[in-house]
Amino acid sequence: MHVLASFEWSVIWDSQGALWGGFKHTMKAGVVGIVLAYLVGLVLGALRAHRIPILNQLAASYVELIRNTPILVQIFFLYYGLPVLGIHLDVFTVAWLSITIWGGAFMTENFRAGFEAVPQRLSEAGYALGFTRLQEFLYVTLPIGGRIALPSTINSAISVIKNTSLLLLIGYPELTYVANNIQSNTFRTFEMFTALAVYYLAIVWTLSALIRFLERRLALPEAF
């Protein structure tokens, strides 16, 4: 166990500042991506659950296209392919845009499933009260279906955060980029990846704990 015996804490210590900078970049792209992906997912999920003609099919095609191609290919397409059409995006724009497009597709599915799980009789009760379709959605389907969908959307948000690591390949200076850079200068592979793992697992495990908490708190009563 030569590796463990020569573990140099000072390597991690000395790169704390750089890693923190990378973490901030990860969160910057990640948070923008997650917020926008929630918006995309809510709107498209509602369109799909209510089977709005044409828009429903368009949203379904978008979801299938994104789900069945690797996100890294999507990133490359945005970064290298789009300039041909005269669309030049800088690295940060590609960063948040690519994970928004990817996360939006998964969240569309999460919300669609949640909205479709709302019992028919509840939305009928809404209409019986004289609600319009929009009112029915806002006051019945959204609160109940959103509650059902919430845990799975957080799962998608976790995946979005993890996918920000791929932005290393277009040179976005996020966590993995920073750690990988330091380790290729210092050859301190074990130390740098330990620090990197601590960062990622702290984010991912916190969000997983949030899912378990919400699942308990938001579980619908048995009578549903």
List residues near another protein by CB under 8 A: 2-3, 64-65, 67-74, 76-77, 80-85, 162-166, 168-169, 176, 180, 183-184, 187, 189-190, 193, 196-197, 200-201, 204-205, 208
In the complex, the smallest distance separating the C-beta of residue 14 from another protein, rounded to whole angstroms, is: 19
* Nearer Cβ to another protein (126/173): 173
* Nearer Cβ to another protein (142/160): 160
d(CA 40, CA 103): 9
Q: Pick from 89, 59, 94: which is nearest to 164 by CA?
A: 94
In the complex, the smallest distance separating the C-beta of residue 189 from another protein, rounded to whole angstroms, is: 4
* Nearer Cβ to another protein (92/193): 193
In the complex, the smallest distance separating the C-beta of residue 123 from another protein, rounded to whole angstroms, is: 22
d(CA 224, CA 140): 14
In the complex, the smallest distance separating the C-beta of residue 55 from another protein, rounded to whole angstroms, is: 21
In the complex, the smallest distance separating the C-beta of residue 80 from another protein, rounded to whole angstroms, is: 4
CA atoms within 13 A on the CB side of 166: 19
* Nearer Cβ to another protein (81/143): 81
Q: Which residues of 184-223 are buried (b: 16+ CB within 10 A; e: fewer)?
A: eeeebeebbeebbeebbeebeeeeeeebeeeeeeeeeeee
What Å distances lie between residue 223 and 40, 106, 197, 215, 220, CA to CA?
32, 29, 43, 17, 8
Q: Which amino acid is at 80?
A: Y
* Nearer Cβ to another protein (93/208): 208
